A and B are shown apart, each in its own frame.
Chain A
Amino acid sequence: MTLTETRPEAVAVPATAGPKSLVPTRGPATWLTTADSATIGRLFIGTSMLFALGALGLGGLAAVERVAPADAFLSNAALRLLSLGIVGLAFMVVVPLWTGVAIAIVPLQVGARTVAFPRAAALSFWGWLGGAGLIIGSYAGHGGPDGTSPNSVGLFIVGLGLLAVSLVIASISVATTVLTLRVPGMYLDRVPFFAWAAMVTAIGMVLTLPVLVGALIYYYVDHRYGGGALPDGSLLQGISWSFRQPTTLLIALPVLGFAGDVTPVFARTRVAIPSAVYGAIGLCLVLGYGAWVLDVLIPSVRSDFLFQVVSVAAVLPVLMVLGMVGHTLRLGKPKFGTPLIAAVTSLLLLLGGTVISALVGIEPLNLVGTAAEQAQTDAMLLASLVAAVGALTYWAPKLWGRLLPNAATSGLVVLGFLGVGLAAGANLMLGWVGDQPAWASVFDDKRDYTGVLNVLVAAGYWLVLLMVLSFGLLLLKIVVSKSEAVADDPWEGHTLEWATTSPPPPGNFATPLEVVHSDRPVLDRREALS
């Protein structure tokens, strides 16, 4: 046989070149078609921070309206605004914000080139944005769960359904990344705590949000065709389990993972018992699964023994992680920075939230159905926002290739901590004073105290709003500025995201990674070199 063709010459491929779909794209024109996990994550983060301004503003306005004479300020729209504020805070702010962080950071932490199903992740962003747009549009047209316009109420149901389905798709993408795309040697008990928490949260969302979608399908058919299967005007109550305890523990779960990852880095040591943190995060899935608390169908469910047990036990996982943080800081040589401050303060707020959850669960206190439940939601969801400021500061080099100023962001975290404490504390007192005649007798003039407490709730919301707004402006200023590129590992991190450049190249890692032998591979390498 004679060779008649010459062998084609090998084409040199740059070491940093990834598959075409992984090449990050820039600018609004390419956002629609991007499959880059960092870009999708940034889209989720940026949009949910914008929505945070609206949701927090509305939460404060609703509290002020409760103080001002009815009709004078917001024309009896307080309840509707409050429902938009809460629904928005849960599903348009906290869940998508942490989903965005997970989509961008989890692939880096597990050594993957991108998130699993990147196009599905991109689809989930646009679906979520569309759903959020429909919800806002429905409120603008006098809709929402307790709206007066039937068409707008229908629009709200469709919007929330679309939003929930989109978040399920994003959750599948995140969970599959951790389950299947880990670097060799990274068994599940060596996954970074944040990636572990993101996976557990994602699985929880996959098991929780379809229940919400199922209920919404029934509500839509009932609303559209008037079947009367579900109680009239019960839509808000029918969906409230998805942003009330115990589901709030699941929504706030990524905070525990973030705290678990940040603490040993800033304590400059290793976590003594990592299995306790993995266990605590896993326990949150069990205790934070709230799809069974359908009180619109089973009114007595919140006085059931199981609900009481779950409510009281919610304190445990937060205490476990807080104990780990304290122990690790005691063992190491702590250096203080915004991420650590955010981790500690948000854990303290979560502890407060779970303590309120326990108080609500103790039946003799009769706090079910009072503002104390709102206090619990405030503490858990707003604490997640405070932690998010710390997380975005910590991972800013990987997300934007910039380092945020430590002093300014630390100040904002403290501001947010005060705001959450004020809002949740005042709402807890409202539950105590406003709805408990026996306890309220402690106070001489119940009405006056209620007014002051509502003002404090509004002030708390607006302090958190100020934190988000200031942080967003600071981030924008630094990202658009032509400052010098940040070091690849400015914090001396322990996990794989710090083994690549800032920002990461297309495909996340310029060279293939080595087999991982512990849960802190970059720290292992640093110790081996020193």
Chain B
Amino acid sequence: MIALPAAPAPARPRTLLVGGALACAGAAMLFGSMLGIYLTIRDGHGGTTAAWVPKGVTIPEIQSNIMLVIMVFISVLVQWARWSLVREDRTHTYMALGLTTLFAVGVLNAQVFIWRQMGLAVRGGPYQSMFYAITGTFFAAVVAGIVLLLVCGFRALGGRIGRRHAESVTLVALYWHFLTAAFAAIWLVVYVVK
């Protein structure tokens, strides 16, 4: 074995952030492919809203618009949490993380409301099947985001996250920005174009 002399200490790598970005890229492919398949199948069923959405079904547009607005709010709030944390402003960090979690639960509530309002049976036909598959997947992604927020919140309360370890909050912020972008695409395809 050839011994190699010591190197200077490397700069701290942003491992968590790069891994998170790759995970978000994978999730973007998931939602992108689901929307692509949705549009292709829709095209195969006539390509118009009238031919695709079952008669008598009303899609609650107001609630979906509210969901989009909440998602944008969440993006701002989670960025506020990160901004506060890197400045060691713990009070605002806790407040921002708490509000983000509250709004995220609001997104779940709005999604459940939309499902109940529409009153569609999953086994009704191709539209129902695809609608529930795509909105259900997004629902699961939001639940995962809430879990991440709670973990970050508890770690911050326990003093495990501060200015020097803000990377995990940056990762959570990145994930919620991604979710906002993903919902914007879902909103456009599923709730506007239908």
Q: Residues on A close to B: CB < 8 A? A: 116-117, 120, 168, 171-173, 175-176, 179-181, 183-185, 203, 206-211, 213-215, 217-218, 220-222, 225-230, 291, 294, 297-298, 487-489, 498-501, 511-515, 521-522, 525-526, 529
Contact = CB atoms under 8 A, between A and B. Distances in A.
Contacts of A488: 1
Contact of A512 (B6, B19, B44): B6
Interface stretch (B78-86, B99-107, B110-118, B127-135): B127-135
A180 B137 CA distance: 30
Interface of B is mostly: helix
B15 A512 contact: no
A185 B13 contact: no
Interface residues of B, number: 42
Contact of B125 (A214, A227, A529): A227
Contact of B129 (A209, A227, A521): A227
Nearest to B1: A488
28 contacts: A116-B15, A117-B15, A171-B22, A172-B23, A172-B26, A180-B18, A181-B13, A203-B22, A206-B25, A207-B29, A210-B27, A211-B30, A213-B30, A215-B33, A218-B34, A221-B130, A225-B122, A229-B130, A294-B37, A297-B37, A297-B41, A297-B44, A498-B2, A499-B3, A499-B4, A512-B7, A514-B7, A522-B4
Contacts of A208: 29
A2 B22 CA distance: 54
Most buried by B among A226, A229, A294, A529: A229
Interface string B64-89: 00000000000000000000000000
B10 interface: yes
Contacts of B37: 214-215, 218, 294, 297
A71 B2 CA distance: 63
A175 B1 contact: no
Most buried by A among B15, B41, B44, B132: B15
B22 A221 contact: no
Contact of B126 (A120, A206, A227, A511): A227
A221 B40 contact: no
Contacts of B13: 180-181
A515 B4 CA distance: 9
Nearest to A509: B4
Given A168-B26, A227-B129, A183 B7 contact: yes
A151 to B, nearest CB: 16
Given A226-B123, A498-B1, A181 B7 contact: no
Interface string B22-50: 11011101110110010011001000000
A297 B45 CA distance: 12
B55 interface: no
B8 A184 contact: yes
Nearest to A526: B2
B14 interface: yes
Contact of A218 (B14, B25, B128, B129): B129
Nearest to A169: B23
Contact of A176 (B5, B18, B44, B126): B18
Contacts of B40: 294, 297-298
Nearest to A501: B1
B4 A228 contact: no
B158 interface: no
Given A117-B19, A512-B6, A525-B4, A210 B26 contact: yes
B41 A229 contact: yes
Interface of B: 1-10, 13-15, 18-19, 22-23, 25-27, 29-31, 33-34, 37, 40-41, 44, 122-130, 132-133, 136-137
A514 B122 contact: no
Nearest to B45: A229
Contacts of A179: 18
A476 B55 CA distance: 65
Contact of B128 (A168, A220, A227): A227
Contacts, number: 141
A130 to B, nearest CB: 18
A321 to B, nearest CB: 26
B2 A525 contact: yes
Nearest to A217: B133
Contacts of A225: 122-123, 128-129
A521 B122 contact: no
A511 B34 contact: no
B13 to A, nearest CB: 4
B41 A230 contact: yes
A221 B18 contact: no
Contact of A529 (B2, B15, B34): B2
A517 to B, nearest CB: 11
Contacts of B123: 225-227
B2 A522 contact: yes
Contact of A227 (B1, B4, B130): B130
Nearest to B27: A210
A209 B26 contact: yes
Nearest to A212: B33
Given A185-B7, A215-B33, A489-B2, 6 more contacts: A172-B19, A176-B22, A181-B15, A210-B29, A218-B129, A225-B128
B1 A500 contact: yes
A288 to B, nearest CB: 15
B15 A217 contact: no
Contacts of A209: 26
Contacts of B44: 297
A121 B169 CA distance: 22
Contact of A116 (B3, B19, B122, B132): B19
Most buried by A among B26, B132, B133: B26
Nearest to A120: B19
B32 to A, nearest CB: 8
A209 B66 CA distance: 32
A514 B4 contact: yes
A305 B22 CA distance: 31
A529 B5 CA distance: 13
Nearest to A515: B7
B75 to A, nearest CB: 22
Given A206-B26, A218-B133, A521-B4, A176 B19 contact: yes
